[in-house]
Amino acid sequence: MKKIKNTYKKSGVNISLANKFVKHISEISKKNVKKRNNSFEKENIGGFGSMFDISNYKIKDPVIVSSTDGVGTKIDLANRFKKFDTIGIDLVAMCVNDLIVQGAKPLFFLDYIAVGKLDLKKSKKILSGIIKGCSLSKCSLIGGETAEMPGIYSKDKFDLAGFSVGIVSKKKILTKKNVKENNIILAIPSSGLHSNGFSLVRSLLKKTKITKNLKNQLLKPTKIYSKEILKLIDKKLINAAAHITGGGLIENLLRSVPDDLSINIDLSKIKINKIFKFLKTKDISDDEMMKTFNCGVGFCLLVQRKNIKKIKKFFSKKFLPYEIGNISKSTKRINLINSLRW
């Protein structure tokens, strides 16, 4: 009898190891569901589709808001520095911070992890970050997918993607229509690079000595703003918001302002994080810095001046909003004055 030589495991996919990881995820999910005391969700863990009970949310005219994103090439640095416990926070943040721009309360999150070869210890650390991000944003991790793809990803490479869903009353949706002339632009500090511009960062690091402090700065997780922003929305203190991601401050702000109004920003007022001052020394123009990085502004609020004092009460000193400009009627869509202070 001919001996069968070809197996899925020999091709590079270890189903047994994957099942161990799935079991680990299931155990964690059940613990989280138990904390929320949701028997409906618990019964469906391990199903083909993830379920989430929204019957307890007494929201008039509910609208579902969804967002999907990844963390880009920041993953490469996580691999390089062998630090995997915070990249999951970035993944959740990049999705959830988009939801709250429209006033939506995050409900649940799903992740997709693709690897060349499944490493249980590494995957558990990545998952721990995702769970932490969900905890910070008060949303539920209700499902996901882990794909082992030999030949597509080299042995130690991996990729992440996330998908989140939120809910908001139709009357409370934040849109650019709410923005009026003389509204103030408030900048909320970022925690650092967040998850944008890392292709440029990685090219700059080729000739840079990497210190422990620099590693920490580069991999500092993205700030999740949902706790503060949702409280402000509940108090009706903001007209619109912008999540400052790829494209930088100006491009993202424009998405939240009507076409017939102009953005006026005093660049000298922006409080620049140390990591951006370091990158600036690598011969990058101000224009390129503004287009590629958040430069210290992770989120923006468009508000009435009378609400500024009330708004600041909801933030810690580290992430205290500050004024950088205003909205007006002008022939120019963008009006920038002064320069960034490096």
Question: Is-contact 235 310, C-beta < 8 A?
Answer: yes
| Confidence category of residue 33, pLDDT binned at 50, 70, 90 | low
The domains found in the chain, sorted by start residue, are: 15-172 (3.30.1330.10), 176-337 (3.90.650.10)
At which residue do the structure tokens 């999150």 appear?
109
pLDDT at residue 23 above 80? no
- pLDDT tens, residue by residue, 39-95: 555 556 567 888 898 888 889 999 999 999 999 999 999 999 999 999 999 999 999
pLDDT at residue 10 above 80? no
- Give me the amino acid identity at 295: C
What distance in Å separates the CA atoms of residue 54 and residue 58, rounded to the nearest whole number? 9
What percent of the chain shows pLDDT beyond 90? Answer: 80
| Confidence category of residue 332, pLDDT binned at 50, 70, 90 | very high
How confident is the model at residue 326, as a pLDDT? 98
How confident is the model at residue 55, as a pLDDT? 87
Residue among 128, 125, 159 nearest 141 (CA) = 128
How confident is the model at residue 83, as a pLDDT? 97
DSSP state of 47: S
| Confidence category of residue 32, pLDDT binned at 50, 70, 90 | low
Which of the pair, 128 or 45, is modelled with greater confidence?
128
- pLDDT tens, residue by residue, 161-202: 999 999 999 999 999 999 999 999 999 999 999 999 999 999
pLDDT at residue 309 above 80? yes
| Confidence category of residue 19, pLDDT binned at 50, 70, 90 | confident
107 contact partners, CB below 8 Å, separation of at least 6: 52, 54, 57, 139, 140, 164, 165, 166, 167
How confident is the model at residue 43, as a pLDDT? 59
Which of the pair, 131 or 29, is modelled with greater confidence?
131
pLDDT at residue 18 above 80? no
Residue among 117, 123, 139, 135 nearest 87 (CA) = 123
Q: Torsions phi, psi of 115, nearest 5?
A: -135, 160
pLDDT at residue 36 above 60? no
How confident is the model at residue 207, as a pLDDT? 84
User: Quick one: average pLDDT of 305-332?
Assistant: 97
pLDDT at residue 34 above 90? no
- pLDDT tens, residue by residue, 224-246: 999 999 999 999 999 999 999 99
How confident is the model at residue 42, as a pLDDT? 58
pLDDT at residue 7 above 80? no
Return the bridge partners of 115, or none.
148, 158
pLDDT at residue 151 above 60? yes
What distance in Å separates the CA atoms of residue 325 and residue 183, rounded to the nearest whole number? 9
pLDDT at residue 282 above 80? yes
User: Quick one: average pLDDT of 205-231?
Assistant: 96
How confident is the model at residue 155, as a pLDDT? 78
